[in-house]
Structure 1
Amino acid sequence: MYITISPQQTKGNFNQSVSDYVAYLEKENLDLAIPEKEYFFNQNGDEIAAEQVIVEIDKNTARLSKHEPKFYAITVSPSPAELRHLQNPTMDVKHYTRELMKTYAASFHREIEGRPPNVDDIKYFAKVEHQRHFKGTDREIRENQPTATKILELQHHMRRIQRGEEQGKVSTLQKRIARLEQSAPHQLDGKRIVQGMPKPGMQTHVHIIVSRRDASNSVSLSPGSKYKASEVVLHGKTVKRGFDRDRFFTESEKLFDKQFGYQRNFVERYQSRKLLLNNPKLYFGAILGLPANEKDLALKLLGKSGIPILPSIPTNKVQFALKTIKALKRGMGKAINSGSIGI
C-alpha cells in the first residue's frame, strides 16, 4: 500500500480554486463513453459531477488566508499484489476508501463541539483511476536514463548534420540510435520505457480531495500539521491540535488486511519501512530471521522495489557499506517524509 498526503500548492502563481486539480483527475474520462466514465464519490454519494466538487471545496474555505492550503490531496495506491487480492477492484477500493476516511477523521487530535471528529465532519470527494504512467522518479526511467542521454546526444548530432552544420552520415547515426533503443535495460512491448508511457498491469488507485475545513466550515482539520497531539491556548480557551500520521498509516494498513483478508509480508508493512529508514542493519537482520518462504518473498519484493541490497546477504549477520546505507536512507526518507506507505 502506498499512501501520500500532499497540500494544495500555495507558492508562485497557483490557482486558489480546486478546479485545476479536478480537471487533472478528469483526464481518464476524456475519451470514454458515458457508461464507462468514473465519477467522484464521497461517504454517502456516487456519481458526483466534477462541477459539484469544485463548488463545494471552493466555498468551504472560511477564514483561510490566500497562502494557506484550501485542500489536501490524498493518493491511495494498492500494490499489484494487493490489487490481485481484490475480487472487484473498483468497488472494493471505493468501499475501502470510505472506511479509510473514518480512520482519517479519528487520527485528528481535535474537538468539534466537545467531541472527537468523525467521518461526517470530513468534507471530501474521491475518484478511482485505472491508469498510471511512468514518471522521472520511477526506477525504470532512472535506470534507462544513461541510454536516453546517449540517444539524445546522437539526435542532436543528426539534426546538426541535416542542417549542414556538421559532417557525417545520418543513416549511421540512425542505426546507432536503433541499437541503443534495443539495449535499454527496461523495455515494454519491445520499446524503451520513457516518461509518460502507460504502466502495464492493474493500476487501480484512488485520488481523494479533502477540504482543509470541516463540513460545517468552522474548524480547521489539517493533516499537514507538524503536531501529533498538543494543546494551545487561543483567546483564553484551550484547543487541541494535531494529526497523528503514524496512526493513520498503521491503521490504514490494518484496515485493508482485515477487510480483504490480506496476508502482509514483513517488507510490506509501514513500520518495517520506518525501520529500514532508521536502522537498515536491524531491518535486514529481521528479514533473515523470517521463515524461509516469507524470507524468499521478502527478498523478491525488495528486488522489485528497486531498493539497493547486496548481491548476497550473510546468513549470520548483515554488513553494509556506508554508501549503501546512505542510499537506503535517501530512498526511504523521501517516502516517509512524503507521508507514504509501501515500497
Structure 2
Amino acid sequence: MYISITPQKLGSTYKGSARDFVNYLEKENEGSATQEQELFFSQTENDIDAQRVITEIDANTSKLSKRDPKFYSIVVSPSQAELKHIGNDPEKMKRYVRELMKTYAASFYRDKEITVRDVLYFAKLERERTYSDKDSAVKENQPFASRILELQHRIRAVRQGRSEGNIGKLKERIDALEREAPHKQNGKRIVPGMKKDGHQNHIHIIVSRKDVTNSHSLSPGSKFRTSETILNGERVKQGFDRDKFYRAAEKTFDGQFGYRRNFVETYHARNLLDKNPKLFFATLLGLPANEKQAAKQLLFRAGVKVPSIPTNKAQLAYKAMMKLKKGIGKAMESSTIGI
C-alpha cells in the first residue's frame, strides 16, 4: 500500500481555494455521461458533487494565514497484488478508505481524542494512472527519447531543405533506438502521459486543515511531529504520528480483506531499507523458503533485477547489496511493490 500526504500547493499552481485541485480531480469525468461520472464521497455520504467539496473546504479555513495550507491531499494507491486480491473492486476501495480515515484521526497526538467525526474530508476514486517524469521507466528511457527527438529534428530540417541527409537511414536509426529503449508497454516505449496497464484503481482524498467545527487545526504535515509544548502555562500535546498512521494503514487493509503481506511489502521493510539496508537484507535472507520465493517474485514483477536471492549473508557482497537497494527503492517510490 503506497500512501502519500502532501500539503496544498501554494503560489502559482494552487491558490487559496480548493477549486483548482478539485477541478484536477475531475479530469477522468471529462467527456463522460453524467450517469457514468465518478463523484466524491465522505465518511457517511456518497455521490457528492465537486462544487460542494470546493464550498465546504474553502469555508473551513478560520484563522489560517495566507501562507498556511488550507487542506492536505492524501493519495491511497494499492499495489497490483493488493488490487488483485480485492478484485479491483471500487466499493471495497471506498470501504477501506473509510476505515483508513479512522486511523488517520487516531494518529493525531492531542490531549482530547480525535475521531473521524472531527475530520472534514472528501474522497474520489480514479481508475487510471499515467506515467510521469518521476517514474523510473521514463527516466531510464530519457536518453533514448532525447536521441530520437534529435533525429526527428534532423529529418524535419532535411525535408525543409535546411540540411542534407538520408531520411531513410535517419528513420532506421530511430526504429533501432525505439527497440533498444529498456522500458516498453505493449511494444511501445514508455513515455510521460502514457496510461499504465493493469489494475490502477486509487483514491485521492482532500482533507481540511481545520476540524469540522472550524475551530482547531489538524495538520498531518511532516514538520508537525508528535511533541509537547507549553501553552498558557500548561503542557499540551500536538502533532501527527505518521509512522503510526502508515503501519495502521496496512494493518487495516490486511485485517479487512484477509491479505497476507510479504515482508518486502511492509512499511517496516521500507524503513529498514532506508535506514539499515544490511538488516533489511539479513531479514530477507532469513525468511522461510516459501516467503523468500514470494519476495523474489514480487521484486521481479516490480522490475527489480534479482537473478537469485543469495542463500547466505556472505554471498551478498556490499556492491551487490547497494545495487539491489537502489532497485528496490525505485520500485517502492513508484508504488510498484506498494509499501
Q: What SS is found at the alignment partner of 2:83?
A: helix
Q: 1:156 to 1:197 in 2, by over 3 A?
A: same
Partner of 1:55: 55
Q: What SS is found at the alignment partner of 1:208?
A: strand
Indicate the percent of aligned positions where both proteins have the same amino acid: 53
1:339 to partner: Cα distance: 12
Could you give the per-residue CA deviations for residues 17-52 of structure 1, whole angstroms, max 9, x where no partner exists?
111110110000112222221100000110000000
CA RMSD of aligned residues (A): 2.6
Match of 2:187 among 190, 196, 210: 190
Residue type matched to 1:146 in 2?
P
Distance 1:246 1:232 in 2: 21
Partner of 1:200: 197
Residue type matched to 2:56 in 1?
E
Partner of 1:293: 290
Residue type matched to 2:126 in 1?
E
Would you say the 8 A contact 2:305–2:327 is kept in 1?
no
Q: 1:9 to 1:308 in 2, by over 3 A?
A: farther
Gaps spanning 5+ residues in structure 2: where? none
Count of residue pairs brought into register by the alignment: 338
Residue type matched to 2:246 in 1?
F
Would you say the 8 A contact 2:141–2:190 is kept in 1?
yes
Gaps spanning 5+ residues in structure 1: where? none
Q: 1:330 to 1:316 in 2, by over 3 A?
A: closer
Match of 2:228 among 228, 231, 250: 231
Which segment drifts farther, 313-322 or 24-33? 313-322
Partner of 1:34: 34
Distance 1:328 1:293 in 2: 22
Could you give the per-residue CA deviations for residues 95-119 of structure 1, whole angstroms, max 9, x where no partner exists?
00001000000000024xxx21100
Would you say the 8 A contact 2:296–2:309 is kept in 1?
no
Q: 1:225 to 1:79 in 2, by over 3 A?
A: closer
1:126 to partner: Cα distance: 0.1
1:331 to partner: Cα distance: 7.3
Match of 1:316 among 283, 289, 312: 312
Distance 1:265 1:331 in 2: 14
Match of 1:279 among 276, 281, 290: 276
Partner of 1:66: 66
Q: TM-score when scaled to structure 1?
A: 0.91
Q: 1:25 to 1:320 in 2, by over 3 A?
A: farther
Q: What SS is found at the alignment partner of 1:4?
A: strand
Partner of 2:238: 241
Would you say the 8 A contact 2:302–2:336 is kept in 1?
no
Match of 1:126 among 113, 123, 127: 123
Residue type matched to 2:59 in 1?
K
Partner of 2:150: 153
Partner of 2:176: 179
Distance 1:277 1:225 in 2: 17
1:229 to partner: Cα distance: 2.3
Could you give the per-residue CA deviations for residues 178-214 of structure 1, whole angstroms, max 9, x where no partner exists?
2322332222222211110111111000000000000
1:159 to partner: Cα distance: 2.2
Residue type matched to 2:195 in 1?
P
Could you give the per-residue CA deviations for residues 119-173 of structure 1, whole angstroms, max 9, x where no partner exists?
0000000000100001122232122222212211211222222333321022221
Q: TM-score when scaled to structure 2?
A: 0.92
Q: 1:149 to 1:324 in 2, by over 3 A?
A: farther
Could you give the per-residue CA deviations for residues 246-282 of structure 1, whole angstroms, max 9, x where no partner exists?
0000011000000000000010000011011111122
